[in-house]
Amino acid sequence: MNISVRIGNSVFLNPVTVASGTFGHSEEFYTSKEVKCLGALVPKTVTLNAQQGNAPRRICETPSGMINAIGIENAGIDAFIIEKLPKLKKVGVPLIVSISANNEDDFALMVEKLNAAQGLAAIELNLSCPNLKKHVLVAQDAQATESVVRRVKAVSDYPVIAKLSPNVTDIGSIALAAEAAGADAVSMVNTFAAMAIDIKKRRSRIGNFTGGLSGPAIRPIAVRMVCETAVKIKIPIIGMGGISCADDALEFLIAGATMVAIGTYNFVNPRAPLEVLEGIKAYMKENKMTDIRELIGSIQR
């Protein structure tokens, strides 16, 4: 059974990965054999300089999901490369490093630092984090998306993945812009702008006032977006949004995603990625498929 997939010139032994920001220390809790079952590891988004993150409360439980506004708390790219990257490389799973920046120069600078660090499978551009109090995100503007991706592609030694925001009128047009700029893949979707209110206090339940909704609640919307985008672009899609089990992941693959990422559900079932991989293999066996490509985009229209 061939379940390996490719993004740019990077090969992944299987299509199951994790969404950035959802798999922090968990690799410590997997056996080394288990962690190798992941197609790729995606650490939490890194920024040029250290960020302390948003004031609590940072998360809030919602029906079949959650709202978060963490604020990309991280130690900055230099600390990431010195302190975290060596350990992550030792895991022995392809690494997709997620980065975010406030301008193109910073994106390019970070990519140069990651070039020098060597050994990554891909870089994911977090163009869609809705939590940093900007009026329009890069991922909400096709031209801005194209411009950032083009700049990064010009310097990157690695395949480049553009992570798209669902908070747009037409996500397909943003995906097309990323593809036109040379992106090797898109990952979709990030969280949906959302809020929840404590009616006793008449205050937002989130310290940042608004946050991003994720979890099974958003899955049907994410599947629809992947399905629509898959027919518009030729580059691979990493599908994500509320995947909790193999059946959920299969929906994304059938809709046209080449890889699938488990995000929020890692917080509930840290073994979900392993179960998803087993479930995909079982489904392929049951349906007598020998290559994952028979599954990807197999939706009957």
Partner 1 sequence: MALHMNQIQNTYKVSSLTKVNATYFRLSFDAPALAKAVRPGQFIHIKVSEGFEPFFRRPFSVYRAKDGKVEIFFEPVGKGSRLLTSKKKGDSLDVLGPLGVPFAMPGKDVKQVVFVGGGIGVAPFMLFSDMLKKHAAEKVLLYGGRTRAHTFPMNEFKKNGVKVFTATDDGSVGVKGRVSELFNKVVLLPSTMIYTCGPRPMMAAVQTFVKEHGLVGQASCEEVMACGLGACLGCSIMTTKGYRTVCHDGPVFDLKELVFT
Give, as ranges, the residues between 111 and 130 that touch partner 1 (CB under 8 A).
Answer: none
- Residues 129, 153: Cα–Cα separation, whole Å: 20
Size of the site for partner 1 (CB under 8 A): 39
Contact flag: residue 44 with partner 1 (CB under 8 A): yes
Q: Which region among 62-70, 97-105, 192-200, 277-285 touches partner 1 (by CB under 8 A)?
A: 62-70
**Cβ closest to partner 1, residue 31 vs residue 300:** 31
Binding of partner 1 by 58 (CB under 8 A): yes
The smaller minimum CB distance to partner 1, of residues 59 and 299, is found at: 59
At closest approach, how far in Å is the CB of 175 from partner 1?
27
CB of 188 to partner 1, least distance (A): 20
Distance CA 131, CA 74 (A): 14
Q: Which amino acid is at 219?
A: R
In angstroms, give the least distance from the CB of 129 to partner 1. 13
Using CB under 8 A as the criterion, what x/- string covers residues 244-283 for binding partner 1?
x-------------------x-xxxxxx------------
Is 37 in the active site?
no
Q: Which of 79, 84, 86 is nearest to 25 (CA)?
A: 84
287 burial (CB, 10 Å; 0-12 / 13-18 / 19+) is exposed
Under the binding rule (CB under 8 A), the answer on residue 53 touching partner 1 is yes
Residues 211-240 that bind partner 1 (CB under 8 A): 215-216
**Relative orientation angle of helices 104-117 and 142-155, to the nearest 10 degrees:** 30
Q: To 10 degrees, the CA torsion angle through 23, 187, 191, 38?
A: -20
Strand runs labelled E in the chain: 5-7, 10-12, 16-18, 59-62, 65-68, 96-99, 122-126, 160-163, 185-188, 192-194, 197-198, 203-204, 211-214, 237-240, 259-262
What are the residue numbers of the active site? 129
- Would you tell me which residues interact with partner 1 (CB under 8 A)? 21-26, 28-31, 34, 44, 52-53, 55-66, 68, 70, 73, 215-216, 244, 264, 266-271
